[in-house]
A and B are shown apart, each in its own frame.
Chain A
Amino acid sequence: MANVLIVAEQFGGAVRKATLHAISAGREVARRTGGTLHLAVLGKGIGPVAEELSGYGAEVHAADAAVLEHPLAEAHAPVLVELARAVQASHVGAAATAFGKDLLPRVAALLEAGMATEVLGFGGEGAEVTFRRPMWAGNVLAEVALATPVKVFTVRATEFPAAAKEGKGAVTAAKVSVDAGALRTRYAGFKEVKSARPELTEARIVVAGGRGTKGDFKPVEALADELNAAVGASRAAVDAGWVPNDWQVGQTGKVVAPELYVAAGISGAIQHLAGMKGSKVIVAVNKDPDAPIFQLADYGLVADLFKALPELAEKLKKSR
């Protein structure tokens, strides 16, 4: 059989948005291989989440147990391995979030499966699915085949549409044979980086600042708030300690593809471009007319960001 198992991610009793994009990818693979789509959700007290997921037209396997309360790969992986075997999955996938990237390779190794990370799309003929994925920070795209009976993948959420609800699937309880006492990983806490702004990877608009801000992100943040946008940053700004780590956009930070990306005071190092060049419209504001970011920007403005950004925010205010 060639069924597809998509691992859903839930946090605080809600389905993570990235999962809906992974469901779209799973539907596509199931359609190609002629298999059935299954969803897995793991956690503690996840009944409502499983119920919500069942609206996406697939059978939902809910592994509900105290030992799965926190997303520990050591505890979650064996449950998924058992489930993948039970539903005869030929493909196991998830969104390429921190959760998916931590967990799926462990699952792949236990299933003796080859794996493709951060898949952008599928290729190949008929049921033989190949995976299109970025290498060298997106400077090269690779078409990859997996030569193992079971194939594991994570998908870049921004490359797939969010799945719409369709039909009603059954919710069944998945087997959990993990002994809490034998676990050698203990969850010791989580510190949320609180923000009233939209999540960086999910925002429609991102305003990002770099070295050119000289550490003063006020104009960047003010414009972002005017646009209801997320705030991003270059590695230089993060390394300087000006802004939190998880604002970093780039090869080693977050990959975003919003409708509008405003890069202010960012020169456009290869490392940074790798994280944002999939954006629909790119605007660059930079004092240096030779900054590499201008080669990529749809609209470039050679100007001081401390003047241009407030002026743009003012225009927006007036247009309302």
Chain B
Amino acid sequence: MPLKLLVTVKRVEDPESRIKAKPDGSGIVTDGVNYKMNPFDEIAVEEALRLKEKHGGEVVVASLGGAAAMTELRAALAMGADRGLLVRHDGALDPGIVSALLQALVAAERPDLVMLGKQAIDDDQNQAGQMLAARLGWPQATFASKKESLESEAEQKKQPGVAVAADGKRALVVREVDGGVETLEVALPAVVTVDLRLNKPRFASLPGIMKAKKKEVREIPAASLGVELAPSVVVRRLLDPPRRQAGVKVADVAELWTRLHAEAKVL
């Protein structure tokens, strides 16, 4: 049965960029910082594309934020997603607002599965998917992973890790939890958040990038969705973490042992 998949795509600071707080604590220094799709969202897009390749259907990607997020939506479309939704909002967003806005999108789009990254690497909250599932009254399967390693044959063949039943009514999701892996069966529609080792995302091809330019992206003003847009998570100030004292280089293992034993007293 064909599946309709809604995937979220957040524009975040590139994890390889050096992030530091402004001296007045009002934000981060953005000079020289690059932006990209949240790495967990790339994995969610990849998984949705694999599910579509297996079951047929449609992959809709959605981003919430300013006009610049169009870049990340186009990147997802270049990977192979079918169309995009940009919920325009220039103010601060928190997972509560994000989940409320997504709830409105779900009401309009009626997907079988909503897939999100398990967390965005800027605010590191790890909340939006769970909050969305709560609002919808849907089951949730967080931190979706894969049984096989990323070097496995299943991965080479780009098989989805999330196993949707042929009738499209249920999905088996392997989850990374403390001490092992857990498997849940969720009835669809459901919310799935993805972990790092669910898959290796594909790169966009040149033809993919060309095609993406012609794909439909609909802009929706956040204010039109009837959602309270005042954040309940208010960042008062940002600060740099305490710096570590510069360490020493030791000459050999004998010195390392002495230092750890007699000086640091940890061995």
Q: Which residues of A contact B (CB under 8 A)?
A: 11, 16, 72-74, 77, 97-99, 101-110, 113-118, 130, 133-148, 183-193, 199, 201, 205, 227, 235, 238-241, 245-246, 248, 251-253, 259-260, 270-271, 277, 280-283, 289, 294-303, 308, 311-312, 315-316, 319
Secondary structure type dominating chain A contacts = mixed
Residues of A within 8 A of B195 (CB): 252
Alpha-carbon separation in the docked complex, A282 to B247 (Å) = 9
A-B contact pairs, 15 of them (CB 8 A): A74-B139, A99-B178, A109-B131, A117-B125, A142-B236, A144-B236, A147-B233, A235-B196, A245-B176, A260-B264, A260-B267, A289-B249, A299-B247, A299-B260, A301-B250
Q: Are B253 and A73 in contact (CB under 8 A)?
A: no
Cβ-defined partner of B260 (8 Å) among A118, A138, A260, A289 = A260
Quick one: given A115-B95, A140-B238, A143-B236, are A190 and B20 in contact (CB under 8 Å)? no
Q: Using Cβ atoms and an 8 Å threshold, which residues of chain B touch A205? A: 266
Assembly CA distance A97 to B182 (angstroms): 14
In contact, B124 and A137 (Cβ under 8 angstroms): yes
Name the interface residues of B230-259: CB closer than 8 Å to any CB of A. Answer: 230-241, 244-250, 252-254, 256-257, 259
Nearest opposing residue in chain B for A120, CB measure: B241
Q: Does B140 contact A (CB under 8 A)?
A: yes
Q: Is the CB–CB distance between B180 and A299 below 8 Å? A: no
Given contacts A109-B135, A299-B259, contact A142 B232 (CB under 8 A): no
- In B140-187, which residues have CB < 8 Å from any A CB? 140-143, 145, 149-152, 172, 175-187
Of A116, A185, A283, most buried by chain B (CB within 10 Å of CB) is A185
Q: Which of B11-19, B81-89, B206-214 contacts A (4 or more CB under 8 A)?
A: B11-19
A188 touches B183 (CB 8 A): yes
Enumerate chain B residues within 8 angstroms of A252, measured Cβ to Cβ.
39-40, 121, 195-196
A270 touches B15 (CB 8 A): yes
**Nearest B residue (CB) for A18:** B178
Q: State whether B233 touches A140 (Cβ < 8 A).
A: no
For A12, give the chain B residue with the smallest CB separation. B179
A residues in contact with B176, CB < 8 Å: 98, 245-246
In the bound complex, do residue A316 and residue B267 qualify as a contact, i.e. CB atoms below 8 Å apart?
yes
Determine if B143 and A102 form an interchain contact, defined as CB atoms under 8 angstroms apart: yes
With A148-B232, A185-B185 as given contacts, are A135 and B256 in contact (CB-CB < 8 Å)?
no
Contacts of B135 in A (CB 8 A): 109
For B197, list chain A residues within 8 Å (CB).
Answer: 238-239, 245
Is B121 touching A146 in the complex (CB atoms < 8 A)? no
Q: Pick the residue among B236, B239, B244, B252 that contacts A130 (CB under 8 A).
A: B236
- Expressed in whole angstroms, the Cα–Cα distance for A297 and B249 within the complex equals 9
Select which of B16, B149, B233, B245 is within 8 A of A116 by beta carbon.
Answer: B233
If A140-B20, A312-B257 touch, whether A300 touches B249 (CB-CB below 8 Å) is: yes
Q: Which residues of A contact B241 (CB under 8 A)?
A: 134, 138-141, 277
Is B94 in the interface zone, CB < 8 Å from A?
yes
Q: Does B59 contact A (CB under 8 A)?
A: no
Nearest CB of chain B from residue A264's CB, rounded to whole Å: 12
> Is B28 engaged at the interface, CB distance under 8 Å to the other chain?
yes
A311 to B250, CA, bound (A): 14
Nearest CB in chain B to that of A130: its residue: B236
User: Contact: B240 with A117, CB < 8 Å?
Assistant: no
Choose one: A140, A142, A147; the contact of B231 (CB below 8 Å).
Answer: A147
Taken together as a complex, chains A and B put the C-alpha atoms of A91 and B51 apart, in Å, by: 40
Complex interface residues of chain B between 107 and 124 (CB less than 8 A to chain A): 121-124
Decide: A299 and B186 in contact? CB cutoff 8 A.
Answer: no
The listed residue with most A CB atoms (<10 A of its CB), out of B18, B94, B184, B252, is: B184
In the complex, which residues of chain A have a beta carbon less than 8 angstroms from the beta carbon of B244? 277, 282, 296, 298
The contact of A189 among B139, B178, B183, B250, by CB within 8 Å, is: B183
Question: Does B190 make an interface contact (CB < 8 A)?
Answer: yes
The residue that B234 contacts in the complex, of A139, A146, A191, A299, with Cβ under 8 A, is A146
Q: Judge whether A190 and B182 touch: CB under 8 Å.
A: yes
Collect the chain A residues with CB atoms within 8 Å of residue B179's CB: 11, 192-193, 199, 246
**Do A77 and B134 form a contact, CB below 8 Å, given A144-B234, A280-B266?**
yes
Distance from A166 Cβ to chain B, minimum over Cβ atoms (Å): 27
Return chain A residues, CB-CB under 8 Å to B231: 114, 147
Q: Is the CB of A303 within 8 A of B248?
A: no
Find the A residue at minimum CB distance from B132.
A109
CB nearest neighbor in A for B123:
A135
Q: Is the CB of B236 within 8 A of A108?
A: no
Q: Which of A99, A191, A296 contacts B247 (CB 8 A)?
A: A296
Q: How far is the CB of A90 from chain B (nearest CB, A)?
A: 14
Distance between A307 CB and nearest chain B CB, rounded to angstroms: 8
Question: Cβ of B233 and Cβ of A135 under 8 Å apart?
Answer: no
Is B172 a contact partner of A188 (Cβ separation < 8 A)?
A: yes
B8 part of interface (Cβ distance < 8 Å)? no
User: Which single member of B20, B151, B184 contacts A187 (CB below 8 Å)?
Assistant: B184
Q: Known interface pairs A106-B134, A143-B236, A270-B16. Does A134 touch B247 (Cβ–Cβ under 8 Å)?
A: no
Closest chain B residue to A72 by CB distance? B184
